[in-house]
Amino acid sequence: MPLLKFLPENTKIDFVGVRYYAFAIDGLLLLASIISIALHGFNLGIDFTGGVLLEVKSAHAIDIGQVRGEVDSLGFPESQLQYFGGGACDSPPNSCVLIRVQPKPNQSGTDIANTIKTKLGSGYTMRNQQVIGPKVSQELFNAGILATILAVLAIAVYVWVRFEWQYGIGAVVATGHDVFVTAGLFSILHWDFTLTSIAALLTLAGYSINDTVVVFDRIRENRRKYKRMGLGELINLSTNQMLTRTILTSGATAISIIPLLIFGGPALFQFTAAILFGIVVGTFSSTYVAAALLLYLPAVHGPRAPEEAAATP
């Protein structure tokens, strides 16, 4: 017997019938995100506010947790640490750390470097020092937001070409919602919004459209097979047929993310938490929202059958 036999088969869930509840839940999430972003904005990290970047090397493997504690004790508004390698940094491994700190008011990059060097002691060597100005950081922030918007629009164009324009609208609404709500999570919880956050949003855009395209493809196949079936019934049939696949895909992805969330430490917590949240929201919108939007758009493949019109209020 297959190990995954416990998963539901031949389900008959009325996804179209509960679409109003799904729209309400998604609407509340969207509203909360809009209010939070409008009132509080984002807690921009060093990548988008400017700061000082230092490359530190030691003759031995560095305990990054210990170094993080020492840097944090200096009271900088924000600090980020990560290992980096290549060249002399591979001998021994983990002997180089990249330190980014947001300076205090009226504090220069040289002052920061000297303060950190004094705190770490003579066992560490400063290999490089860079100051990231606020103008460059603002340009980076604008480029990151633009990249996210263009990614969602490119996905919509792909779905439009792959299927029909009605599917493209459903895809861009569902995917855009998932990305925006996840961005709202950063604002609501006051998490640092950095380049890593942009990477998480772009990852979610690709993941979200994956489930949506699979359901759309099954709808198209079933529409050719059941030409007289109403659109509402067709959406229910197609979504139920793909439900096991959706559960397996989302479950497998979540299982791979949860260990990073628990054991990845502070450096990976916000990234993995955003991905995990996006998986839940993306699966929900792909299952309950994206296909149901087709009910409110002009007919797909010609005029709708009477049953389809009856399914649309």
pLDDT tens digits for range 81-123: 777 776 677 777 888 888 888 777 776 667 777 788 888 877 8
Check whether residue 140 and residue 128 sit in a common domain. no
Q: pLDDT tens for residues 189-221?
A: 888 888 888 888 888 888 888 878 888 888 888
Q: Which of 132, 154, 173 is the last residue of a domain?
A: 132
Whether residue 104 is found in the same domain as residue 181:
no
Q: What is the DSSP string of 93-106?
A: TT-EEEEEEEPPTT
Q: Is residue 159 part of a domain?
A: yes
167, 192: one domain = yes
Looking at residue 5, what is its pLDDT? Answer: 53
112, amino acid identity: I
In a domain, 10, yes or no: no
Chain centroid to CA 313: how far?
Answer: 34
Residues 149 and 298 in one domain: yes
Are the C-beta atoms of residues 159 and 216 closer than 8 Å to each other? Answer: yes
Do 117 and 146 fall within a single domain?
no
Q: Which helix (H) or strand (E) holds 129?
A: strand 124-132
Task: CATH number of the domain at 61, please.
Answer: 3.30.70.3400
- Fill in the DSSP letter of residue 60: S
CA distance 294 to 297: 5
| Predicted confidence (pLDDT) at residue 35 exceeds the cutoff of 90 | yes
Split into its structural domains, the chain has a count of 2
Q: Same domain for 165 and 280?
A: yes
CA distance 313 to 269: 44
pLDDT at 180: 92
Give the end of a domain, one of 132, 147, 162: 132
Does a structural domain hold residue 116?
yes
- Among the listed ranges 95-109, 143-157, 240-254, 290-304, which one has the minimum average pLDDT value? 290-304
> Taking phi first (over 0 means left), then psi (-120 to 50 degrees means alpha), and beta for anything else, what does residue 102 get?
beta
Q: Is the pLDDT of residue 308 over 60?
A: no
pLDDT of 158 higher than 80: yes
Tell me 88's DSSP state.
G
Judge if 56 and 155 occupy the same domain.
no
Name the residue range of residue 80's domain. Answer: 51-132
- Output the pTM of the full model: 0.74
What is residue 65's predicted lDDT score, i.e. its pLDDT?
Answer: 83
54 pLDDT exceeds 50?
yes
52, 131 Cβ separation under 8 angstroms? yes
Q: List C-alpha distances in Å: 126 to 39, 64, 82, 86, 113.
A: 40, 16, 15, 16, 8
